[in-house]
Chain A
Amino acid sequence: MIRFLAKGLIRDRSRSLFPLLAIIITVTLVIFGIGFMEGAMNNLLQSTAVISSGHVKVVTKAYKKESTQLPNDLALFDTKNIIQTLSDMYPDYFWTPRITFGGLLDVPDEMGETKEQAPVFALGLDFFSERSRQVEIWELEKYLISGRLPKDRDDALVSTKLAKQLSVSVGSSVTLIGSTMDNAFTTYNFNIVGTFDLNKGQADRQMMLVDISGARQALDMTDAASEIFGFHNSLYYNDEEAVTIRKHFNLTYSDSIAQILRNEESYDALSYMAGWNKISNVEKRNLPRQRTNALSDNQMYDNAEEWEDLSVEDPAIFTPIMIALRDSNQLASMVDFSNVAMGVMAGIFLVIVMIVLWNMGLMNGLRRYGEFGLRLAIGESKGQVYRSMISEAVLIGFVGTLVGTILGVSLTYYVQEFGIDYSEALNQISTGTLVMTNVFYAKVTPELYYIGFIPGVLATVLGTMLAGLAIYKREMSQLFKELET
């Protein structure tokens, strides 16, 4: 039967070619549209994640409060152990330390005197460790304009914009003028081994990338880091999962350390009390905990605004806490908006396409009104005609969707690999918080392999079914009269 229908479809081009073309085009558009939106949104979040937030990141409580000032005096210590703990707790993520610092970059002349000077925004990344994925996530091999990647502690990559501003090139030596984590004045020489252009607007205007070992040496930050970034192994940002692990880490690891530190401080504070030595050991154990809980419940830690002199300096300010990408400035609303917008846009797109294909199915059915009348007149049952119509629609829908899916996924894959360049339009939009990428890449996601079947098959079949209902309304006695006209 299917072979018979297929032959009919191939022989009558008006029944196959145009509906097939319509389905192929719409399914291709649906798949590419959704893949592009998904990819563009992920690009946007991934760029922000790579440069400033990670999918999640761990910082000290104090650093979080003053993060805009890049306060490396509030950095994390003992980062090796923290990273090991994080890797054990959340193996689906990879964890990497980072030092973010600012300063001046000074270029000497032949006499060693200052020739050029410019502010620099520098990042100390873990390039050298065995399992480092920094080159991959920064896509440095793609964005490297000249030179090579860092191999030694004092090697540095500078953005082409900064290199141009300082009139330096590969091989130049530059001196960083900045502050150590103790806020002491420091100078340190870096050798420029490469230049890059991240294609992310103004985000890399003053950027220098060095290995974290060089940054640690320059800023006197042995085994310390400003932040520890966590990225999902797939590099795909899953907001729900990021929020879940943030909650889990802060409730278990972070809060328990904070509680221990606060209890220790409470013990010290209470031990100065008159009569402390006269109380029982049980009370000595309980009282500090009670004091900590009371201070905590009444929000008296570091709350000079409300409690003035009664506010107590929080001994837990250096406790590591986790922040998800959405917790960074403005990004929560952006992530929520993007999720909703994506859903709405994909929904509208899908509905429009469905209406088009439905209409096509309907028109196709109505166009063959005479043919169905004839078939009924020569003895085919209404059910048979109706079923053959639907089978044809399923066949056309399936073949069209299959071809459309192959084309759509191929197109999406092409744009995923090569992207679409919006440099001119987006150069001015990037900010510190939200990093806009100049080139948008689509993303082939698993849903793209089946999403096309909703409009491609379902809408076509539904349209045909609706049109086919007319078959059941026709009276046999009227058929010949209709055919005569």
Chain B
Amino acid sequence: MKSILFLFFLFSFLFPQTDQMNADNIMKAMDENLNAESRIVTSKMVVRGRRSNRTIESKSWVVGTDLAFTEYLSPPREAGTKMLKLGEKLYTYSPQTDRVIQISGHMLRQSVMGSDMSYNDMMEDRPIEELYDATIEGSAKVDGRDHWIMVLDAKVKGLSYPKRRSWVDKEYLLPIKEELYAKSGKLLKTSSLQGIKKVQGRWFPSKFVYKDELKRNSKGTEWIIDNIEFNKKIPDSRFSKALLRK
């Protein structure tokens, strides 16, 4: 009898923890897939506007979560524009003005190149494990594939999206679909990942689709990864403000 009672308490104590650990493990696995020590990405951003579409090509060098340098390659109007993220600071350089401008305050809420992504979205790319507490809400099949439905609640103050709901593919361990909410519960943005493939031993999407749900009639922005290299050595000089003007 004692052993039965012991097992009962053990199970009742362990099961909720198992759920919690699973959620944490899933977040960790997602972070491992999406983040790296460093990455060099060549990509295209297709901004679907109400009257026309624009494609913006860029190349980015990223180290961890604090250092990022992006140079826009086309169209001609944007070519030569550069962006540098140094920790909490974001600088932009435009060859037309030959000025380095720090983007701060309300400007961080502005859209990047007219896309559905804001500068804040770019700034908040720390591992989700550091930013959110997760719970598994259930499971669902999306396009014939098994997914966990996870609810992520911010454990850090001041995030743009204090709550997220993610559909995490059980095999790829990537948030295939996400809904990003404000503190009030209002849906702000949705995102989806497409074209998942193995890159240097990890599952990684070849296309991200973001949609600003506050923009009426928004058709979303596609971020297409043309080439990505993980954990490649990037010199510190790449992240100097002086390089913005070169």
Give chain A's interface residues, CB within 8 Å of chain B.
73-74, 104, 106, 108, 112-114, 175, 177, 179-180, 182-189, 220, 313, 318
Contacts and interface: CB of A to CB of B under 8 A. Distances in A.
B49 A182 contact: yes
B107 A104 contact: yes
Nearest to A318: B51
Contacts of B92: 185, 187
A106 B99 contact: yes
Contacts of A114: 101-102
Contact of A112 (B47, B77, B96, B98): B98
B78 to A, nearest CB: 7
Contacts of A73: 49-51
Which has the most chain A C-beta neighbours within 10 Å: B47, B92, B99, B119?
B99
B96 A183 contact: no
A361 B212 CA distance: 79
B99 A112 contact: yes
A187 B107 contact: no
B112 interface: yes
Contacts of B102: 114
Residue among A73, A183, A186 having the largest count of chain B Cβ atoms under 10 Å: A183
A220 B138 CA distance: 47
A112 B49 contact: no
B237 interface: no
B100 A185 contact: no
Nearest to A77: B51
A179 B47 CA distance: 15
A45 to B, nearest CB: 34
Interface of B: 47, 49-52, 54, 77-78, 92, 94, 96-103, 107, 110-114, 119, 217
Nearest to B111: A183
Given A108-B99, A189-B99, 17 more contacts: A73-B49, A112-B99, A113-B100, A177-B101, A179-B110, A179-B111, A182-B54, A182-B113, A183-B111, A184-B78, A184-B112, A184-B113, A185-B107, A185-B112, A187-B96, A189-B96, A313-B217
Nearest to B49: A182
Contacts of B100: 112-113
A404 B244 CA distance: 74
Contacts of B107: 104, 177, 185
Contact of A175 (B52, B54, B99): B99
Nearest to B56: A184
A106 B52 CA distance: 30
A183 B114 contact: yes
A71 B50 CA distance: 12
Nearest to B93: A187
Given A104-B107, A183-B111, A220-B77, A188 B54 contact: no
Contacts of A186: 94
Instruction: Find the residue from A175, A182, A188 having the highest chain B CB count within 10 A.
Output: A182
Contacts of B103: 185
A480 B59 CA distance: 118
B113 A185 contact: yes
Q: Which 3 A-B pairs have the closest CB atoms?
A: A184-B114, A182-B114, A183-B114
A180 B47 CA distance: 13
Contacts of A188: 96-97
B47 A182 contact: yes
Nearest to B47: A182
Nearest to B215: A183
A68 to B, nearest CB: 15
B77 to A, nearest CB: 6
20 contacts: A73-B49, A108-B99, A112-B99, A175-B101, A177-B101, A177-B107, A180-B114, A182-B47, A182-B54, A182-B114, A184-B78, A185-B92, A185-B103, A185-B112, A186-B94, A187-B94, A187-B96, A189-B97, A189-B99, A313-B217
B110 A185 contact: yes
Nearest to B53: A182
B118 to A, nearest CB: 10
B156 to A, nearest CB: 26
A220 B56 CA distance: 15
A106 B77 CA distance: 21
Nearest to B100: A112
Contacts of A183: 110-111, 114
Contacts of B47: 182
B99 A187 contact: yes
